[in-house]
Structure 1
Amino acid sequence: MSALDDAGTAAPATETAPAPAPDGGVLGRGYRALSIGIVTVVLLIAFEATAVGTAMPVAARDLDGVSLYAFAFSGYFTTSLFGMVLAGQWADRRGPLGPVTAGIGTFAAGLVLAGTAGSMWLFVAGRAVQGLGGGLVIVALYVVVSRAYPERLRPAIMAAFAASWVVPSIVGPLAAGAVTEHLGWRWVFLGIPALVLLPLALALPQIGRRAAGAPAGAVPAALDRRRIRLAFGISLGAGLLQYAAQDLRLLSLLPGLAGAALLVPSVLGLLPRGTYRAVRGLPSVVLLRGIAAGSFIAAESFVPLMLVTQRGVSPTMAGFSLAAGGATWALGSWLQSRPRLEPYRERLVAGGMVLVAAAITTAPSVLLASVPVWTVAVAWGFGCLGMGLVISSTSVLLLKLSAPEEAGANSAALQISDGLSNAVLLAAGGAAFAALGGGAVGHGATQGATGSHPAAFLAVFLPMAVVALAGAWVGTRLHARP
């Protein structure tokens, strides 16, 4: 769950300022209902991410769309970019309740569309609808955190968000694999919308009571139409780039160039100045979020496909290979929340990125028949430990570096870095995968056969490991010099 917003200390006001916690904790009487409600929303998204990733290889093969495999993931992130900026504007002006409600409904509608798809492109469209809803929800949730919780409690609630991935990470792949094998992959998508009701019942009343309306003492700003246009430019530009990367024809240069022309100025207009130069402080925090999320997700998306097609592993076991990561991710997030480690946050983050790079480098070793399949599970456990340190730390730092009235805008910037990096690196990895015969690998797997193009997977994993290693350097620039 990556995407954070920022809002320093909440301004004093009855409708938006955090109420004092009787026992000082996120589960104290003053915060218990709100904490359970918003963590349940994260739980829903976690189940989707872990379950859908397990079913995706079978869905792509069934819809004759393995060559579009990366597009099914990156389509989600593309539309989420627009949803993030829209949610930031919406939450800053009217509070986070509206975007949370709309986002959950849209997310569920996308699951239904994907689960009933008759072609790979319609499946991708369903994923895109999911992305729009996910973008609305994640930004709005961090606006809730910035307004409803004091700064001292934010590391704890971020750790709770990470911990909510543990059960889905273990149960989700196993359940999705079993459902895929015995009932069909469609039920993995169609079954998840039932989980929408619980977050709605728990979270919405508390969000409306604790974080409704504009920040206290601030006059709601007018809708920034320029930012909305830039957000649309990012989404459209990323979509065109992904299409060009998947098509791999000379004619595809045209949409690719058009996408770049839209994307570059839009990104520069929405992210903090100096982001891509890794300027110390907020720009480096935003940049690191994109580097960490993009490299890790782009690599992780191909792990189940690699195990199914290259080693003949069942979808259930392929998904289970990633299950331990949920626990280690939560452990990393818990470690960063310890007060005694606060002075060492930059070192923790840099070390976390080294773990991520090592995990991504190790995973494709299973392309060698002599390497045990469980090597992936061990490597990914260490990688997720690093991600827990990095993602939660960037969230905490962003909240610390932002003013209350900037909550939505800064959260959207962090999410844009996260989602855009996912989309671009997935597109690049998907292009390399397809160019080296990755689509043929998927078709050869219909009988569980091993694939004949391991280089297609190496072309995904090794560049992502280099990107992750660059993140270790960016992790040393998160605090501005005195």
Structure 2
Amino acid sequence: MTTEQRPTASIWDRERLWVTAGAVALIFLAAIEALAVTTVMPIVSEALDGRDLYAVAFAGTLATSVIGMVAAGAWSDARGPRGALYAAVSLFIAGLLLSGFAVTMDQFLIGRLVQGLGAGGQTVALYVVVARLYPPQLHGRVFAAFAAAWVVPSMIGPFLAGAVAEYLDWRWAFLGVAVLTGVAFVIVVARLRGVDLGRGEPQNRRALVIRLVLAVVVAVFAVLIGFTAEMTVRLAWPVAIGSVIVIGVALLPLVPRRTLRAGRGLPSVVLMRGIAAGAFFAAEAYVPYLLMERFDFTATWAGIALMLAAFAWAGASQLQGAFGERLGNTRITVISLSLLLVALVLVLAAAQWGVSPVFVVVGWGFAGGGMGLLYPRLTVLTLAYSDEGNQGFNSSALSISDAAGSAVAIALAGLLVATLGGEAASFGVVFAFCLGLVLLASVPGLRLGHAAESSEG
């Protein structure tokens, strides 16, 4: 069959339909759990008498996800992504069950830690499955579908979890997701059976052990930064700054060489992901809080800002999947960072001078659009710069940068608010901090290079 006669490949064609559906379902359910837990956690901490451990339930999951990312990346490079994916999803389900059946806060936290291992490993393993199973011209569309899988959870996740906790029991917010994840997992396993995903290459065991130890170091110190908000200011900032330095040193072997120096190409791709993620998610954590504290919004109405951002994120992701090659890396960088800057300026104005809350709601929609353009593009570039021998390492590096950047930025933002007394007026400092991060992201953003991405024509 000639090129002209060959039908156009699609992520939804018969050959890939069920793998795509199952993978998107796994991303969707992970998003539901990640977003829903925000609503359920106050109820859980009260029911299990664990108010003092409330923050650890969030920080611990993010921290252990870094370990899962490193392990899954190494496993995928050494033996292919199949086993890594199966182990990661199994851990995610096990963690949900442990949390759902917990009778003490300690048991619940163990479940959350196991969930983090599974969630981090699952993301990396799915990236490698995409790299091995889908042709390069479909990568942008697959990751656009993954990004879109966060839209519905962004809209209904917190509301649905609250309704489940109120009318059934908070445990079903975890147990229900575990059951549905099991169904999606069965679909993926059935369709991947017999599919050649590559066997990988022999790996240096000593190097792997070192990487895992460093991932643990990153996780521990990321959690430590979160605890600094409870320390005295005199102690908190030295501990936080010291922890950031330790994390930076520990990250060096876990990311491509020259990443922290914004080396051209893949290093800048990975670095930009971490900085952009930190700027967006640290600011987003305070957008609903700002609306409630400064403008007397209810929690439901404050969530509208996040919902509009989710719509914008999904729409921009689809545009990137369709036109990303035509726009090119430099234009996508300029457009996405400009949208983030506009968003943060509008939200900062609302925080500092109390102008209309419309500035916050509409502004955060711009932020979602900027991230929707940027996120899938950086993932496509990572795969374009990779080959079968390092797809797992590079995919895990991207996710590690994402998680570590978000954890550090959110923790530092929380410390800024705590230092200034936690007043609504102090939110402006957080948004100014995030605006500075966006400007910093332009340094690696203009050094992304031009990998051999295939055109989607």
Equivalent position of 1:108 in the other structure: 93
Equivalent position of 1:447 in the other structure: none
Residue 462 (str. 1) matches residue 436 (str. 2): no
Alignment of 1:433-452 (within 5 A): 433-438=417-422
Equivalent position of 1:8 in the other structure: none
- State the distance in 2 between where 1:307 and 1:109 align: 36
How far is 1:361 from its partner?
3.6
TM-score, normalised to structure 1's length? Answer: 0.81
TM-score, normalised to structure 2's length? Answer: 0.85
Closer, same or farther in 2 for the Cα pair 1:298/1:118, shift >3 Å?
A: farther
Equivalent position of 1:299 in the other structure: 283
Closer, same or farther in 2 for the Cα pair 1:244/1:259, shift >3 Å?
A: same
**AA partner of residue 404 (structure 2):** L
Contact 2:262–2:443 at 8 Å: present in 1 too?
no
Contact 1:177–1:316 at 8 Å: present in 2 too?
no
Equivalent position of 2:130 in the other structure: 145
- Comparing 133-142 and 54-63, the one that deviates more: 54-63
Aligned length: 445
**AA partner of residue 414 (structure 2):** G
Equivalent position of 1:334 in the other structure: 318
Equivalent position of 1:479 in the other structure: 449
- State the distance in 1 between where 2:395 and 2:71 align: 11
**AA partner of residue 465 (structure 1):** L
- State the distance in 1 between where 2:337 and 2:107 align: 36
How far is 1:319 from its partner?
2.7
Equivalent position of 1:201 in the other structure: 186
Equivalent position of 1:163 in the other structure: 148
How far is 1:418 from its partner?
0.7
How far is 1:229 from its partner?
2.1
How far is 1:99 from its partner?
2.5
Closer, same or farther in 2 for the Cα pair 1:261/1:347, shift >3 Å?
A: closer
Contact 1:248–1:431 at 8 Å: present in 2 too?
no
Residue 220 (str. 1) matches residue 220 (str. 2): no
**AA partner of residue 445 (structure 2):** G
Contact 1:308–1:315 at 8 Å: present in 2 too?
yes
**AA partner of residue 454 (structure 1):** A
Residue 231 (str. 1) matches residue 215 (str. 2): yes
- Comparing 117-126 and 39-48, the one that deviates more: 117-126
Equivalent position of 1:422 in the other structure: 406
- Identical aligned pairs, as a percentage? 40
- State the distance in 1 between where 2:330 and 2:76 align: 30
Match of 1:405 among 368, 389, 398: 389
Deviations 1:407-457 (A, max 9, x none): 11111111111111111112211212222333xxxxxxxxxxxxxx11342
Contact 1:236–1:262 at 8 Å: present in 2 too?
no
- Comparing 64-73 and 82-91, the one that deviates more: 64-73
Equivalent position of 1:42 in the other structure: 27
Closer, same or farther in 2 for the Cα pair 1:102/1:303, shift >3 Å?
A: farther
Contact 1:331–1:385 at 8 Å: present in 2 too?
yes
Deviations 1:121-157 (A, max 9, x none): 8766554332221111000000101111111111111
- Unaligned 5+ runs, structure 2: 1-5, 453-457
Alignment of 1:45-444 (within 5 A): 45-55=30-40, 72-112=57-97, 126-179=111-164, 187-215=172-200, 219-223=201-205, 224-248=208-232, 259=243, 262-339=246-323, 341-363=325-347, 365-367=349-351, 371-438=355-422
- State the distance in 2 between where 1:234 and 1:250 align: 23
Closer, same or farther in 2 for the Cα pair 1:258/1:197, shift >3 Å?
A: same
Closer, same or farther in 2 for the Cα pair 1:380/1:108, shift >3 Å?
A: farther
CA RMSD of aligned residues (A): 3.3
- State the distance in 2 between where 1:458 and 1:120 align: 34
How far is 1:266 from its partner?
1.7
- State the distance in 1 between where 2:17 and 2:58 align: 34
**AA partner of residue 303 (structure 2):** G
Closer, same or farther in 2 for the Cα pair 1:151/1:212, shift >3 Å?
A: closer
- State the distance in 1 between where 2:49 and 2:356 align: 30
- State the distance in 1 between where 2:273 and 2:186 align: 31
**AA partner of residue 417 (structure 2):** F
Closer, same or farther in 2 for the Cα pair 1:246/1:354, shift >3 Å?
A: farther
**AA partner of residue 172 (structure 1):** G
How far is 1:67 from its partner?
8.6
Contact 2:130–2:139 at 8 Å: present in 1 too?
yes
**AA partner of residue 20 (structure 2):** S
- Unaligned 5+ runs, structure 1: 1-20, 439-452
Match of 1:31 among 5, 8, 16: 16
Equivalent position of 2:3 in the other structure: none
How far is 1:464 from its partner?
1.2
How far is 1:355 from its partner?
1.3
How far is 1:207 from its partner?
3.3
Contact 2:352–2:425 at 8 Å: present in 1 too?
no
- State the distance in 1 between where 2:433 and 2:224 align: 22
Contact 2:151–2:311 at 8 Å: present in 1 too?
yes
Contact 2:133–2:197 at 8 Å: present in 1 too?
no
- State the distance in 1 between where 2:389 and 2:358 align: 48
- State the distance in 1 between where 2:97 and 2:421 align: 31
**AA partner of residue 140 (structure 2):** P
**AA partner of residue 99 (structure 1):** A
- State the distance in 1 between where 2:395 and 2:115 align: 19
- State the distance in 2 between where 1:325 and 1:236 align: 31
How far is 1:182 from its partner?
5.6
**AA partner of residue 446 (structure 2):** T
Contact 2:309–2:368 at 8 Å: present in 1 too?
yes
- Comparing 98-107 and 426-435, the one that deviates more: 98-107
Closer, same or farther in 2 for the Cα pair 1:433/1:204, shift >3 Å?
A: farther
Contact 2:56–2:223 at 8 Å: present in 1 too?
no
